[in-house]
Structure 1
Amino acid sequence: MSNKYETTYRLKATEDSTIEDEESQSKDNQKVEKGPPPPIEINPNEHKLQYAYALWYSRRSGLSKQTSIQSYVQNLKLVGRFASVEQFWGLYSHLVRPSELTAHTDFHLFKVGIKPIWEDEANQKGGKWIVRLRKGLVSRCWENLILAMLGEQFMVGEEICGAVVSIRYQEDVICVWNKTASDVATTARIRDTLRRVLHLPASASMEYKTHNDSMKSVHRL
């Protein structure tokens, strides 16, 4: 397996040591992210996805809060990128499942070129659908979601920015980010597709929150 999957293997072997090892790479990660990402090579016999994606990982102490965009970005670790079906499965098959992660841990799957932060240009006018799950459901729901996203099942053009799964103590949370919070028809279609692919009952609670509202509720230095 190539070096870009090295982080994935370390995640599966021991999550704690991975975070410690990757802290030393933080400055290098930031330098890479300042410029456009290099293109992803695809073999001619691979099945190309409509968009290329990047998978990020983050974890923080349950007692701490991110107080600046710099500290939040620094906490993001790039696991790998892919642009074909084969590359996705090569990465995904070596990841730990969300249900095996510790609390206050997140996976962020976003289109290449869009950082998983509110301040990114693609996200500034957008928002996210939030689904809160009882314990035991997150791994299945996350897999169903990302397969639907990669397979363009949402049918909303370029509106989807990415998805996040967040592991917490009492519950787990899945979110889908889109570009245009003011587009009611599009957000409604994302909601309905999300409900379908996650097999949620009609009574399931779903909340839409704009990124502007999210930023207002968090103190940023």
Structure 2
Amino acid sequence: MSNKFEITYRLKATEDSGDEESQSKDNQKAEKSPLPSIEISPNEHKLQYAYALWYSRRSPGKTNIQSYDQNLKLVGRFASVEQFWGLYSHLVRPSDLTTHTDFHLFKVGIKPMWEDEANQKGGKWIVRLRKGLVSRCWENLILAILGEQFMVGEEICGAVVSIRFQEDIICVWNKTASDVTITARIRDTLRRVLHLPPTATMEYKTHNDSLKNVHRNL
């Protein structure tokens, strides 16, 4: 479990660093070295799943798959309620992040990429928010995910918050895009935990379609 000094340093380094070659080498080194298991003390409250929090910052313009992977930075991991709050309480809130940055909260073992085996047949619900709402909505969402409020078994892979210029975006990723019952339950729960009005627009997009769009643009 990362302590607050490691977390702060990692976020600061990611914001300030312009050395893409160095970042790429760090990622390759991390991939070759398996992370140790997350230890939980007997007095901690274990979550049903262990989670990893990732951070990324995108350069404006077109982004290919390789550069996206290189931009992903692991901030920390947790497997208990206490470990989550130890991490979360020292994080920058989404509303204070710079434009074109993202937080990715995913189950340990699932990388926040369409190509990951757990994501290949899945999709995501997309909610676009006006400025000023994202921090509250993001906190409500991750607490709902950790508390298993979606009631869809192992379907939830993770969630992403994206800070953009004119709006902010929250997404929930799931494993099986073809299961309309599952996707509808995720939609309804997402609408409830974010306190969205009935008129709010929500979009579901399969990762396969997203991947096709990227290849088409490239």
The amino acid of 1:50's aligned partner reads Q
Residue 70 of structure 1 pairs with residue 61 of structure 2: no
CA distance, structure 1, for counterparts of residue 34 and residue 9 of structure 2: 26
What secondary structure sits across from 2:48 in the alignment?
strand
Q: Give % identity.
A: 81
CA distance, structure 2, for counterparts of residue 8 and residue 48 of structure 1: 21
Alignment correspondent of 1:120: 116
In the alignment of these two chains, the number of paired residues is 217
What secondary structure sits across from 1:43 in the alignment?
coil
How far is the alpha carbon of 1:80 from its aligned partner?
A: 0.4
Alignment correspondent of 2:8: 9
Change (3 A) 1:3 1:209: closer
Cα root mean square deviation, aligned? 2.1
Change (3 A) 1:93 1:23: farther
Cα deviation code 1:41-67 (max 9, x no counterpart):
1111100000000000000222x3212
TM-score normalised by the chain length of structure 1: 0.91
Q: How does 1:1-221 map to 2 (within 5 A)?
A: 3=2, 5-10=4-9, 16-17=15-16, 19-20=17-18, 24-34=22-32, 36-62=34-60, 64-67=61-64, 69-219=65-215
Change (3 A) 1:217 1:143: same
How far is the alpha carbon of 1:152 from its aligned partner?
A: 0.3
TM-score normalised by the chain length of structure 2: 0.92
| Conserved 8 A contact 2:51-2:108 | yes
The amino acid of 2:186's aligned partner reads I
Runs of 5+ consecutive residues of structure 2 not aligned to the other structure:
none
Change (3 A) 1:13 1:78: closer
Cα deviation code 1:158-214 (max 9, x no counterpart):
000000000000000000000000000000000000000000000000000000110
Structure 1 runs (4+) greater than 2 angstroms displaced: 2-8, 10-17, 19-26, 28-38
The amino acid of 2:31's aligned partner reads E
| Conserved 8 A contact 1:11-1:95 | no
Q: Which moved more, 1:112-121 or 1:8-17?
A: 8-17
